[in-house]
Structure 1
Amino acid sequence: MPGFTEGEGAEEFIEALKGAVVPRDRKAKGRDLLPPVLLLADGERAAAHAHQAMRGLRRMLYPDGAKRVPYAVLGPDEIRDAAGRRPLTLDLGRELCVDVPRRTGRLRLTDFFLTRDIVELALDPRAPEPDGRALRDHCYAQRIARGPLLRALWTLGGDSAEGGTTGPGWVAELRRLLMRPLCQLLPRWWWGRRRTRLLLRSTRRGWYADWRRINHGRTADDFFEIAARLLRTERGRDREAAVGRWEELLLHALLADLRRAARPGRISPWRRRRRTRCVFLLELPEDAAGAAAGERFLERYGEAARDTRCAAVVVVAVSPAGGAGVSRADGAASSPAGGAAAGESGGLGRAAARLRGASGMPSRAPRPLRAALPAPVPESESEGLDLDPVSPRTFRLGPAAELTLTGVVVAALLSAPGVWLLDRVTDEPDRGCLGGASSEVVAGRPELSTDSPRKQYEDARRLIREENARVDREVGDGDGTARTVVHIGSDVAADPEGQRYNAAVPELRGIALAQRALNDEARNDSQKVWLRVDSRNAGGDFGHAPSIARQVAEDARKKGSGIIGVVGFSKSLMQTQEAVRILGGARIPVVGTTATADLMQVNGYYRRVAPTDSREAAIEADFARRGNIMDDGTGSCSPARAAVVVKDPRDLYSDEIGTLFAGRFGARPFTLEYTPGGRSGGIAEGPGQDGVARKDSIGELADAVCERVIANPRTVVYWASRALQFSAFLDDFGDNTACEGRKLTVLGGNDLTTAALAGEYADRPWLRLYHTVHVLPAGHPRLSDIAKKFNADYARDFGSHDLWRDDGRAALAYDAMQLLAEAANRAFRSTDNVERSNVQIGLDNGIRKQGASGYLDVGRGRSVPRDKPLVILHHTDRGSEPVLYCGAFTQNPAGRATHWGPQGKFSCPRDS
């Protein structure tokens, strides 16, 4: 056949095309989006060559007078006639439903037929401009014409299409009063209401809301009202522009229908036999206008397929090269000249590789894949390439016979012993993804401050100095009692970008807000203690924390120092652990802020307001094992089946939480160890443990993670290392590994939160990120009154769009001050003597107090509040949304989150 000759990649392309139409992996047609293919014929007889190639493709799909694959064809005359006057999708969708392959059932293109009725009305210049109700009635009338059951129901309500009634006397009256509302008005109202719910409010089927950029469930409009407004708008535009808009609408509707039709059927024997993709064949005309219309269709198809996540279609267009000007196979722009096509050797081979290598759902719309057809060889000189027909798998039993046999088996199972088994077999697992469709309050995208980090840091210190001066004035003029709380924090980030990774500023702000609030209470209550704050800088990454702790211990021993305790230590590091040990040796009470490592608990003088690593790892491992977080490329999700843990063995927090997660997750997660700066600096190279590998560079780490993800796509990456290294890892993983374009699911700790909230990872659509935080977003209904007041105070002083408003660090610092102050006030009320020993006794006896980050239930012998809240956020384009929150947000039982997941199906772990 001269359309496809031997050699030049033709045979390879045909085999790749057959593999795309009938994929071996049934999930591929719901997961792997294929780019449209444009085959260019060149030479003097380019039109004849293109026609011969199209004829060969049709024979593959229709070899024996019956379709083996659902396909639709548009010839050059149809494309030329429709160019600029009507959408091509109208004819494609109509032909797709004609003569479907045997034993596969009819294609239910519900949304396409609805939008087709709207578009045909819009294209009719004689039709009036309808309002929403009139448009609904028109579309329902067309729906009745296609459905015999609805037509019979309508007839019961009245003989005429308008619902009029005929018949003598009481018969006509009865039909008017009873049958017409029951058989006509009620079904039409219900049909319209269902269309609105599915197309505007459903997150799974609401493609129309996505196309029109309408928030799902957030509009009170009816679908037909919105469609009528669109119809009126497009009628006022240029005809060609309006046709392009209707083409987009029809393509979105058709592909959304085909995506649902291509899902593997669990019960329906007809759907189980749909093992092929649908095929669109286009033979473009030679004239420029017709060719341009076909090329615009290919571009719009790519965008619609990406938007609807429909991978169930293969599009092949054949064109004389003189009329083609779309992109080349490598994505670069090509010239419209035929010589470009002719000079592109091996084009079919590259196209075949692209078809075979398609994997997943790309973040951008696939561009048309351009390939040159080999020069035709006369049939008298060459036998040509024999195009064997596409042969999808056949079933011995027909669907009706299978359904009958299934009915017999089900009837047998309905006996008492079979009820349980039947429930298990037919139970449809929940495949909805956690995140992306939630109506929860979102931690919105904040704004990076134009002030330098150093200025923000000094401004917070200035607030504390001003409050200290107020204490000196008030206590000096009256009879109040003042004491000093020492804050040990890290140094501020050196550069503006470092705002995303540094906790120094929000911690100081939380302490400043707490100091002011506590001193306001002391002014109103003479039995409460005024507090000064002595803020000491321990350097970057708390490098000077041990020496600062020794200095604080020495100062506390001086008579009249007034030091009653220490707050701070926002990171779990070897140096902060040593500082806590030194302070405990000096019998100074310490309340930590965001340090979570269990190993920080080196003595009985240390407490913290953040949940421990053991609690966090238990919740995160349960979340990864049971939550639908792994996107399979079709929009459906499932729990993780494997994990890769990335940790730094020299970092106290990273090493501990990574080890705890691996133990809790099960399934023997693989651990990758990476220390910034390589292996130098204290860790000797050893043989390593089973399931553990050390990497010298971020690039090696990214390659190792990629290997694991390729081996098992349902692998979650648990990032236990720091946020700065995570950003570097993403840079390499996205474009320097074999995983380019693959989905990557990452679960990380609180260290990623500030960077995530600031939009650090927003430009990576292939990344599905979940990260933890210790507070709910501002405005969340579960927040306590104290938390609401704290958020209002923070917004008033630092702005409602501040970088750290929702990341929890300021709230935890606020609560650390509250806990220490409550112990001091109790000592003052009971003994009139506020010393460190009495403050420690107050902490030992237990404190229950509502805080900004949750309910602070520090009972006897407890160093961490019981059931301290933990929140997991899903990072999205519009911000980070809570997908899990567990713990005691308020003392009231209604404020305690004990379950998570869809309909609260999973239990939160509880502290003893």
Structure 2
Amino acid sequence: MAVARRGRQEGARFLEGDGADEFMAAFKRAVVPEDRRAAARDVLPPVVLLADGGGGGGGGGEDPDGRAHGAVRGLERCLRRERGGKLVPYAALGAAEAARAARGRRPLTLTVGQRLCEDVPSRTGRLRLRDFQLMRDVVECALEQGPEAPQLTGEQLRDRCYEGRRGRGPVLRTLWRLGGGDPPTAQSTAQSPGWIALVLGAVARPVLQVLPRWWWARRCTRRLLWSRSTGWFADWRDIGHGRRAEEFFDSVARLVTGDGTGDGTGDGTGDEAPDEAQDELEQLLLRALLADLKAAVRPGRISPWRRRRATRFTVLLELADGGSGDPAARFLREYGPAAEELSCAAVVVVAAGSAGAAVPGERCARLSDAAAALDHATGSPEGDLEPLLAPLVPLPPGARQRSVPRSGPVSPPDFRMGPVAEVVLEGVALVAVVGVLGAWLVPMTLGGRDATCLGGPAGGPLSGRAELSAAPPRQQYEAAARMIEEENGRVDQAVRRRGVEARTVVHIGAEVARDQEGQRYNGAVPELRGIALAQRALNEEARNDERKVWLRVRMLNAGEEFKDAERRARQVVEDAGRKGSGIIGVVGFSKSLKQTQGAIRELGRAKIPVVGTTATADAMDGGRYYRRVAPTNSREARIEADFAHRGNITDSGSGGCSPAEAAVVVQDPQDLYSNEIGDLFAEQFGGDWTKLEYSPGGRSGGAPEPGGGRVTRQDSIEDVADAVCERIKEQPRTVLYWASRAREFTAFLDVFGDDTSCEGRKLTVLGGNELTTAALSGEYEDRPWLRLYHTAHVLPAGHPRGSDITKEFNAEYAAVFGATDLWRNDGRAALAHDAMQLMAAAANEAFASTGDVERSNVQISLDNGINKEGASGYLDFGRGARVSRDKPLVILHHTAKGSEPVLFCGAFAQNTGRVERWGPDGEFACPKDG
């Protein structure tokens, strides 16, 4: 025992033997990397120094000479200045701290996080561990409950965690006190409350206590479950991101009380093994701590305190002599998977102990091997990030250990100027830059030099080279249906004569009524034409290649506005269940409506693959069995909001144009597409926006959602026009975002131009694909005061950015339906064509790989991912993806010369067709998918 005591007193006498110098140098390079990006990129494995010289291979004894303890204290000394104070942020835990954690059954990460926050290096600012502090409160609540106490509900856990957050925040603490403090006890409530107490209970407490607590809990849910960048808890527990995810405190309450532990599918009984429960809590705290440290070590570009964080965080542990219950050993076991999943490169972990420590890992023969592993760590480790077990070579008899490491302490970069001085200097520089820019810009503004309008000046009829057919939409629809029936006959003939493989794809579309002879446009026409062209091309390929499948198309009419969509879906489910039906999937559903949403879910429950054409609402997602070839509303709204903010589209009042400074959103809360894309655009636009809710036909939608006075309900299209007019008069640089349908937009324009006080005033409108077909048909001609921008899913025919497949499709369409046909630039035909191509690609893949073209095999092909050039752009469906990545989106401006693209972003072709910038001379970057 005297030898062990002497070893503990001589803290820095710890490393001898082959590779000691190399290890110390590698350790210091890991703590203070030469490349600051390495601390955010290169994930380091933990290193375990074993004191028997065998690398953990066969000792199992104690540490009689105290070399493990001396190693921890020697490394700690390297991280401190000679006269105290940390050179780098670290936490050093000896056997005593681990023993206390084991006795209290407390995760060791609690102590590690607390030590990292104490005595941080000077000039690096306060270390804020937001997620760790929250999870620490969660774990403390769970430990206080005890095994016999009733399980905590999510609401109870939220309230108790908020108490801890309130104790650390002076603002929340002050609001709580102003709201009346803690709830009255039973003794105080027995007395009659005074009028002050009544006021506090009725007004102050909901505003100053309940609302802040609700907002705090919602922010926790948004950060840990909804966000894809910070939602590590959702990734760990395999909870889907997005606003449909459950509340965070409900999920974590099930975890810490035993319901949902282990593999994430707990039975709720709460009787899991104690060690497993300890592992779960350790994992929870460790992931929270690593997520915070990963964010903290990221170099700051503005804050001078963050700029001084040029080192990694270091954790030094002393292991017990053996046993799986050692908290330090548990910490090491859980650290590797957590650091790998979070890609956290911000931490260096070194532990020391005897060979009996229960830490599995990769054995190293010498310290130099561990040093090489630290120097060559990568940012994407393959497999588990296992600890490196390296030997502490025993000293020969009579030898003395060095009292000081050969290369001295670590040396973080030295900043000559203090952070406060840097802040002052940066502020002075910023004021100077703003003054110079102001002196340059103000005269330009006062002089009336406005930017050129994006897409050219407004005015003139919004017409183009497209021509309206003399035939009404119903007649054109029937002609396309006859093309499909003729091709079906060709398929039946090939089956009879040649015995080829043939399958059926069902198309569910909307009705084109016979009494709509005067209607100028109907989107069902180009969609059916695109399917007809695709079917003919695909069967021609199958005729030339016996490894491909012939396709029939069965057309089902879902009625006006898809009113019978769910009934048609049930009919498909029933028919597909019959033996020999040959049905492999469904294409169609061109509109985002509640009835089409329900139909897609009916088909999904029956495991029938569906490929949507032009329906764009995110809410149409029908799970694993639904895919779409059109971009989603969220992508479209993100691009449109960026376009409105950056593009010179609104009238500046002096002959030029400027970006929009405000927006008015018109939406129908009873329409799935309209309500969703209107909300998404307002959210992405931010700033000064107003919503006008209008449901045609007197459909009642109830009271509008709370919007702080920014959401109003209108009873008629005349009220909508008046409200838009008033808003434009208040702020001329306002864009009208039309999220409702095209029919209501035509009525709005009739009223706005003639019956409001804004007659003759310029109006800028930005709308979705719903307006495209109507605009191409000349529906909005002879309105010189209208500047109209709207989206499409394809570039106009003949545009040089189109891929070879796009040009081939446009040529085929022109050959069959005419080069000046109205629908050629609409995009619906190309999307329907691509929907058939995607379904056929899955069927051909199933046939080539298995020889069996059943629906299940088609779905497997879709799940495995399909990449294919399409008429509407590159179809990039990765494994499990249900939306094509970077699907093209085009914003058109109509002029007297025709459709003019002013923005186009996305993957128009696989190799050379990806467009990432828009605007004059590519001035702006295209928004990326979330």
TM-score range, shorter chain: 0.5 to 0.7
Q: Quick one: which amino acid aligns to residue 451 of structure 1?
A: A
Aligned position for 1:642: 662
Aligned position for 2:199: none
**2:430 is aligned with 1:426:** no
Q: Quick one: which amino acid aligns to residue 782 of structure 1?
A: R
**2:754 is aligned with 1:740:** no
**Cα offsets for 1:353-387 (capped at 9, x unmatched):** xxxxxxxxxxxxxxxxxxxxxxxxxxxxxxxxxxx
Q: Distance in 1 between matches of 2:535 and 2:568?
A: 22
**Cα offsets for 1:472-503 (capped at 9, x unmatched):** 11121113100000000000155567654521
- Corresponding pairs, count: 493
**1:704 positional shift:** 0.7
**1:905 positional shift:** 1.2
Equivalent residues of 2:450, 2:654 under 8 A apart: no
Aligned position for 2:808: 789
**1:684 positional shift:** 5.9
Alignment partner of 1:880 out of 884, 896, 899: 899
Q: How does 1:687-702 map to 2 (within 5 A)?
A: 690-702=709-721
Q: Quick one: which amino acid aligns to residue 479 of structure 2?
A: D
Equivalent residues of 2:547, 2:844 under 8 A apart: yes
Q: Distance in 1 between matches of 2:650 and 2:559?
A: 40
Q: Distance in 1 between matches of 2:857 and 2:785?
A: 55
**1:909 positional shift:** 1.4
Alignment partner of 2:824 out of 805, 816, 820: 805
Shift in alpha-carbon separation, 1:550–1:416, aligned structure 2, 3 A: closer
SS of the counterpart of 2:782?
coil
SS of the counterpart of 2:882?
coil
Q: How does 1:109-258 map to 2 (within 5 A)?
A: none
Shift in alpha-carbon separation, 1:860–1:424, aligned structure 2, 3 A: farther
Aligned position for 1:41: none
**Cα offsets for 1:498-544 (capped at 9, x unmatched):** 65452111100000000000000000000000000001000010000
Shift in alpha-carbon separation, 1:881–1:833, aligned structure 2, 3 A: same
Q: Quick one: which amino acid aligns to residue 547 of structure 2?
A: Q
Equivalent residues of 2:464, 2:896 under 8 A apart: no
**2:872 is aligned with 1:853:** yes
SS of the counterpart of 1:677?
helix
Equivalent residues of 1:501, 1:724 under 8 A apart: no
Shift in alpha-carbon separation, 1:424–1:477, aligned structure 2, 3 A: farther
**1:800 positional shift:** 1.0
**1:821 positional shift:** 0.3
**2:651 is aligned with 1:631:** yes
Structure 2: 5+ residue stretches without partners:
1-428
Q: Quick one: which amino acid aligns to residue 700 of structure 1?
A: D
SS of the counterpart of 2:812?
helix
SS of the counterpart of 2:623?
coil
Q: Quick one: which amino acid aligns to residue 650 of structure 1?
A: Q
**2:466 is aligned with 1:452:** no
Equivalent residues of 1:583, 1:590 under 8 A apart: yes
Q: Distance in 2 between matches of 1:443 and 1:588?
A: 42
Equivalent residues of 1:452, 1:495 under 8 A apart: no
Q: Quick one: which amino acid aligns to residue 649 of structure 2?
A: I
Shift in alpha-carbon separation, 1:437–1:631, aligned structure 2, 3 A: closer
Aligned position for 2:916: 898
Aligned position for 1:907: 925
Q: Distance in 2 between matches of 1:869 and 1:602?
A: 22
**1:443 positional shift:** 9.1
**1:570 positional shift:** 0.3
Aligned position for 2:748: 729
**1:419 positional shift:** 7.5
Equivalent residues of 1:501, 1:751 under 8 A apart: no
**2:580 is aligned with 1:566:** no
**1:762 positional shift:** 1.7
Q: Quick one: which amino acid aligns to residue 854 of structure 1?
A: G
SS of the counterpart of 1:484?
strand
Aligned position for 1:579: 599
Shift in alpha-carbon separation, 1:874–1:685, aligned structure 2, 3 A: closer
Alignment partner of 1:509 out of 506, 525, 529: 529
Aligned position for 2:45: none
Q: Distance in 1 between matches of 2:604 and 2:720?
A: 39
**1:854 positional shift:** 0.2
Alignment partner of 1:669 out of 689, 697, 708: 689
Q: Distance in 2 between matches of 1:523 and 1:558?
A: 28
Q: Quick one: which amino acid aligns to residue 613 of structure 1?
A: N
**1:760 positional shift:** 1.0
Aligned position for 1:192: none
SS of the counterpart of 1:833?
coil
Q: Distance in 2 between matches of 1:496 and 1:783?
A: 34
**1:437 positional shift:** 7.0
Aligned position for 2:787: 768
Q: How does 1:857-876 map to 2 (within 5 A)?
A: 857-876=876-895
Q: Quick one: which amino acid aligns to residue 710 of structure 2?
A: G
Q: Distance in 1 between matches of 2:730 and 2:457?
A: 29
**Cα offsets for 1:241-261 (capped at 9, x unmatched):** xxxxxxxxxxxxxxxxxxxxx
**Cα offsets for 1:524-569 (capped at 9, x unmatched):** 0000000000010000100000000000000000000000000000
**2:568 is aligned with 1:548:** yes
Equivalent residues of 2:463, 2:776 under 8 A apart: yes
Q: Quick one: which amino acid aligns to residue 910 of structure 2?
A: Q
**1:690 positional shift:** 2.5
Q: Quick one: which amino acid aligns to residue 738 of structure 2?
A: W
**1:631 positional shift:** 2.0
**Cα offsets for 1:24-65 (capped at 9, x unmatched):** xxxxxxxxxxxxxxxxxxxxxxxxxxxxxxxxxxxxxxxxxx
Moved over 3 A (4+): 415-425, 427-430, 442-445, 493-501, 682-689
Aligned position for 1:150: none
Equivalent residues of 1:854, 1:889 under 8 A apart: yes
Q: Which moved more, 1:895-904 or 1:492-501?
A: 492-501
Aligned position for 1:101: none
**1:668 positional shift:** 3.8
Q: Distance in 1 between matches of 2:705 and 2:873?
A: 44
Q: TM-score, normalized by length of structure 1?
A: 0.52
Q: Distance in 1 between matches of 2:463 and 2:582?
A: 40
Identical-pair percentage: 69
SS of the counterpart of 1:804?
helix
RMSD over equivalenced CA pairs, Å:
2.2
**1:602 positional shift:** 2.7
Shift in alpha-carbon separation, 1:416–1:724, aligned structure 2, 3 A: closer
Q: TM-score, normalized by length of structure 2?
A: 0.51
Shift in alpha-carbon separation, 1:642–1:423, aligned structure 2, 3 A: closer
**1:420 positional shift:** 8.1
Alignment partner of 1:530 out of 535, 550, 555: 550
Q: Distance in 2 between matches of 1:855 and 1:687?
A: 41
**1:832 positional shift:** 0.2
Structure 1: 5+ residue stretches without partners:
1-414
Shift in alpha-carbon separation, 1:653–1:794, aligned structure 2, 3 A: same
Q: Distance in 2 between matches of 1:645 and 1:868?
A: 25
Q: Quick one: which amino acid aligns to residue 558 of structure 2?
A: A
Q: Quick one: which amino acid aligns to residue 440 of structure 2?
A: T
Q: Distance in 1 between matches of 2:628 and 2:541?
A: 23
**Cα offsets for 1:179-213 (capped at 9, x unmatched):** xxxxxxxxxxxxxxxxxxxxxxxxxxxxxxxxxxx
**1:423 positional shift:** 5.5
SS of the counterpart of 1:604?
helix
Q: Distance in 2 between matches of 1:593 and 1:876?
A: 28
Q: Distance in 2 between matches of 1:877 and 1:634?
A: 23
Q: Distance in 2 between matches of 1:475 and 1:787?
A: 31
Q: How does 1:396-407 map to 2 (within 5 A)?
A: none
**1:436 positional shift:** 2.0
Q: Distance in 1 between matches of 2:523 and 2:885?
A: 24
Aligned position for 1:107: none
Equivalent residues of 1:453, 1:495 under 8 A apart: no
**1:425 positional shift:** 3.8
Q: Quick one: which amino acid aligns to residue 536 of structure 1?
A: L
Shift in alpha-carbon separation, 1:548–1:874, aligned structure 2, 3 A: same
Q: Quick one: which amino acid aligns to residue 530 of structure 2?
A: G
Equivalent residues of 1:445, 1:758 under 8 A apart: no
Shift in alpha-carbon separation, 1:906–1:495, aligned structure 2, 3 A: farther
**2:730 is aligned with 1:711:** yes
